[in-house]
Structure 1
């Protein structure tokens, strides 16, 4: 079923784009653009005709093919991606929206509703919400009440289920839009008076943080740029989704540095069976692209940074740390290190993950 939903979303987007650009599309347009057999393209056109998503603009006449049009050029969903990462009973819910305002709206109302959410943050169009598995009733309604909220999060095999209550515009999103977002396996909405209550299924993914350091040289390169390239590279693997890219300043007094002594880390949502492949691809990519032989990476799974690991991050901003200390710390917390002495700073970046950018960028701010 998830594969069918993904194909449906992709073909419908293609049909809408042709309709916007040309006013119509043909089966041949879909066949060539999607790189699929003509019979498959025709089957999908017929299916979407039956569903009422597409109409026939002109019937086939002689050698002129039938022309079709998507009924609405409105976005089928303002939710681009919805996915979840899991660590024990802790869950991180990500909503990647078409609009920063939409993300802000949901974030505001979700935080106001409370429920099972313990924290709500927004970075542009990406909404990140922390929760624990469980249920906690919420009160949804018109202003001043919240219009939408998450009252429960549960586990269903290898999936996470969000339990939502909504009214008004958010109710439309729950009943008509969220099922079309990438990452959503299934949505079951139900109407109760003015409210729409529903469940949203997503994969239970693993959150992975990769720290990177010492990839540049006095002659060129920049670790932040290589880390961003790494993010783009590994998320080309099916089952690995991008979350974020950050820069973290370390001890500016360290002697062996190319400039201000900054490291970087990226965050990913990963299918558990893709973890080993991710580590190998990341190691190989950084080894090939780094301009310094001292490049290093640190790879960690999990949502919460333990106090002992956070303390290492604090020391990486105030002290000169030996590689043996980095290796012992990594072993203690189950973190994979690869490369040269850059692993010291790479582990420091991982240890600082989850802190606000104003803290990450100021090595003097260590009261965390």
Structure 2
């Protein structure tokens, strides 16, 4: 056992594991999706430190380019406008924020600025995150102003809805959906969320009458959908499985249909009346109605889980 100092006294450091970067907390992953026109971006930051994430959520909301921030599981999600602004940073009151957002055909660039500890978070903590293609960051720490610009792949949002994969004897759609989503995830397609959506309890349900929405950010939408479909066909236990795909920034055009399916029984004719090129039916079993209905409720957990029995 090592001893230190002239007296041979044990020091605490002799027993402690060394911290490689005591003043850096790296973001595990950062991804971003842009709308079709490149005017809006959703920035999704996976965090490791909940305290830091809540501090960011509180202060970054004051940035002019930030339209909203919400926490979904281990992520903060920022709805951003593109542009470039000067941040009137002030310690304690507005110590950090997002100063610029730019979108081109292949990449999304985000610029952060911060003071003191906020500058550490705005620079090296984000610059070293998984998902960053390249970065330019300032030295940070102490009371300095610091920041970074990070470049991320421009990704597209894909939401896959599935329903009716089980039987009265075996299976569970929510577990199958999650396990397939994990299996198809790669550097091109990042798995963002899983939402269980309560539907109207129709007589022919297995038991609980729920559908699932799995959300991805991807640069390879066709490959993602193909792989998900292959897994679903391999592992479903039902002949009535439905799989639907939304490719687009905002699934709001499906919300009215989703609400109808949560409030009562609808028909295939009701589904056929939907006319949007961003929606496709990949598996057309009876479950396709629930699969489509689940999509607009992705990450809207309170609404998704509510049981609506026709009264709203």
Deviations 1:81-109 (A, max 9, x none): 11111112111101111122222221121
For 2:171, the equivalent position in structure 1 comes to: 221
Q: 1:365 to 1:124 in 2, by over 3 A?
A: farther
Larger RCO (alpha carbons 8 Å, 6+ apart): 2
User: In the comparison of the two structures, how many residue pairs are matched?
Assistant: 293
Aligned pair partner of 1:202 in 152, 171, 175? 152
Q: What's the C-alpha RMSD, in Å, of the aligned pairs?
A: 2.6
Contact in 2 for aligned 1:117/1:132 (Cα 8 Å): yes
- Are 2:91 and 1:147 aligned? no
Shift of 1:142: 1.0
For 1:350, the equivalent position in structure 2 comes to: 295
- Gap runs ≥5 in structure 1: 1-22, 24-69
Give the Cα–Cα distance (whole angstroms) in 1 for the partners of residues 259 and 210 of structure 2: 14
Q: 1:366 to 1:195 in 2, by over 3 A?
A: farther
Shift of 1:76: 5.6
Superposition map of 1:287-326 within 5 A? 287-306=233-252, 308-326=253-271
- Are 2:121 and 1:177 aligned? no
Shift of 1:205: 0.5
Q: Secondary structure at the match of 1:227?
A: helix
Give the Cα–Cα distance (whole angstroms) in 2 for the partners of residues 90 and 365 of structure 1: 36
* TM-score, normalization by structure 2: 0.86
Contact in 2 for aligned 1:327/1:337 (Cα 8 Å): no
Give the Cα–Cα distance (whole angstroms) in 1 for the partners of residues 67 and 310 of structure 2: 24
- Are 2:79 and 1:130 aligned? yes
Deviations 1:243-298 (A, max 9, x none): 1111011112x111011211111111101xx2111111111111111111111111
Give the Cα–Cα distance (whole angstroms) in 1 for the partners of residues 310 and 98 of structure 2: 34
Shift of 1:194: 3.5
Give the Cα–Cα distance (whole angstroms) in 1 for the partners of residues 113 and 187 of structure 2: 32
Give the Cα–Cα distance (whole angstroms) in 2 for the partners of residues 146 and 293 of structure 1: 56
* TM-score, normalization by structure 1: 0.73
Give the Cα–Cα distance (whole angstroms) in 2 for the partners of residues 230 and 100 of structure 1: 28
Instruction: Give the helix-richer structure, 1 or 2.
Output: 1
Deviations 1:40-62 (A, max 9, x none): xxxxxxxxxxxxxxxxxxxxxxx
Shift of 1:312: 0.4
Give the Cα–Cα distance (whole angstroms) in 2 for the partners of residues 71 and 263 of structure 1: 45
Q: Secondary structure at the match of 2:34?
A: strand
Give the Cα–Cα distance (whole angstroms) in 2 for the partners of residues 365 and 128 of structure 1: 32
